[in-house]
Structure 1
Amino acid sequence: MVWSGLGPRARIRTGIGYLIVAAAIGLAATTAALAQDKRQNTPGEFDYYVLSLSWSPSFCEDAAERGNSGRSQAQCGGGRPFSFVVHGLWPQYEHGFPEYCDRDAWLDRNIMTSMLDLMPAPGLIFNEWKKHGTCSGLGPRGYFETVRKARAAIKIPPEFIDLADPKTVSPADVEGAFIKVNPGLAANAIAVTCNRSRLSEVRICMSKDLQFRGCDEIDRRACKRDEVTMPPVRGG
């Protein structure tokens, strides 16, 4: 800030002007923060859900490459050959999302074990409850019943249920396959994500009563690659 060419009165007026501008900027920032805080991380205060379905074979290959096979043993260590599994059901705002709305919340082990058919890792279930479920406004049992209902509302395209060989697909084709077998699902309500060259997740937006609905922010974050690989289902 250079005032050397200004007289005393001009300097005073200029200084006052800067203070007014700074105060206005500070007030605007405070107002924006308060507007966000009215709902930020308040349980039950959100706009819609995202049901995230993870392609388990991609997760397992990524974990093996990162040297995290031990942590993913429950899901990737053999036994049941998982294809699409539930990553989570996430409360969302139109812009952004709440998280960890009750850091002291606990989860009964019996509820956790009841979800292992859909979410095949205890650590995943506990984390999803703490990070996302606590923001739903529901208790643990109600939240995971909602997870189950949301998953039951989605049909998996038959070509992805028992994939025996690696498959190269375009994200648009995967979206199209889901739209084809799920009446009412529109292109702006589904997004495919990828991790490097592999398909990672299919994310489907649903209203609080679990009807399909558009979600521009989720749709914009979809995979931009022309093609991705779907590793085969283990044991398939």
Structure 2
Amino acid sequence: MQSESASFFKLLVLLCLTVLCVAQDDFDFFYFVQQWPASYCDTKRSCCYPTTGKPAEDFSIHGLWPNRNDGSWPSNCKKDSSFDESEVSDLIRRMEKDWPSLSCPSSDGVRFWTHEWEKHGTCSLLNQRQYFQTALDLKQKSNLLQVLNDAGISPGDFYSLKSIKDAIEKGVGYTPFVDCNVDQSHNHQLYQVYLCVDSSSLDFIECPVFPHGGGCGSRIEFPSFSSSSHDEF
């Protein structure tokens, strides 16, 4: 009787672990998140340019994040899957350009990419090369800076939140979520743009759910990153 109970208990534990693993990997769509470098830098935490040099005045990738329709998300799904730079060696130049790290101290980006892969990429059902290649291609496909420029929205001025959202929706074809920060002069700034991608990571879709918050007023600043005021960082 004790042997049967022990066997049943082991089976129950194995089943629970299996369900947990499946649930951890399960997701419904991706958030593809891009950030505006001037807004990242224009906060109390400041920023540090990458060791490869100051990034271009363009949106950069923050991450490609698996998410669920109920607002939850999986993370760190494979503890034994570490970032391997050799897997993306032919993508490094594009990653340095389109996915730079602005955190301090200055770095070559590997620490940032490692974090994104281990926390989010391991839950994506993509291998490392597919994960980073997909994000780079989505940035090129969305082309946010050009989309905004085409609508007469350029860095260095204030715009209505509605006009920014409308421009992105018209240019990309889907409704974005816009996240703002507040600078030391208490201006709301365009900080991050979320777009949603289907779980096959091939196409943009309407977001099943938006993140909480956003922190944007009705009129927000699209700060310049080319001005000398940022070169002290």
**Residue 165 of structure 2 corresponds to residue 175 of structure 1:** yes
Structure 2 length as normaliser, TM-score? 0.70
Q: How far is 1:54 from its partner?
A: 0.3
Query: Which segments of 5 or more consecutive residues in structure 2 lack a partner in the other structure?
Result: 1-15, 102-108, 183-187, 229-233
| Paired position in structure 1 for 2:28 | 47
Check conservation: 1:171, 1:223, Cα contact below 8 A: no
Structure 1 length as normaliser, TM-score? 0.70
Percent identity over the alignment is 25
**Residue 170 of structure 2 corresponds to residue 195 of structure 1:** no
Q: How far is 1:91 from its partner?
A: 0.7
**Residue 103 of structure 2 corresponds to residue 117 of structure 1:** no
| Aligned partner of residue 147 in structure 1, secondary structure | helix
Check conservation: 2:181, 2:216, Cα contact below 8 A: no
User: 1:165 and 1:194 mapped to 2: Cα distance?
Assistant: 15
**Residue 56 of structure 2 corresponds to residue 81 of structure 1:** yes
| Aligned partner of residue 97 in structure 2, secondary structure | coil
Greater than 3 Å deviation, 4+ residue runs:
36-40, 77-80, 219-224
After superposition, give the CA deviation of every residue in 1:48-87 in whole Å (9 maximum; x if it has no partner): 111101011100112xx22x53xx3318x95342321011
Map residues 1-236 of structure 1 onto 2, 5 A cutoff.
37=20, 39-42=22-25, 45-62=26-43, 65-66=44-45, 68-69=46-47, 72-74=48-50, 79-95=54-70, 96-110=72-86, 111=88, 113-114=92-93, 115-121=95-101, 122=109, 123-156=111-144, 157-159=147-149, 166-182=156-172, 184-185=173-174, 187=175, 190-196=176-182, 197-209=188-200, 210-218=202-210, 221-234=213-226
Q: Identify if the C-alpha distance between structure 1 residues 221 and 56 changes in structure 2 by more than 3 Å, giving closer, same or farther.
A: same
After superposition, give the CA deviation of every residue in 1:175-216 in whole Å (9 maximum; x if it has no partner): 11112222x32x3xx100111221110100111243222224
Q: Considering only CA atoms, is the larger Rg found in Structure 1 or Structure 2?
A: 1
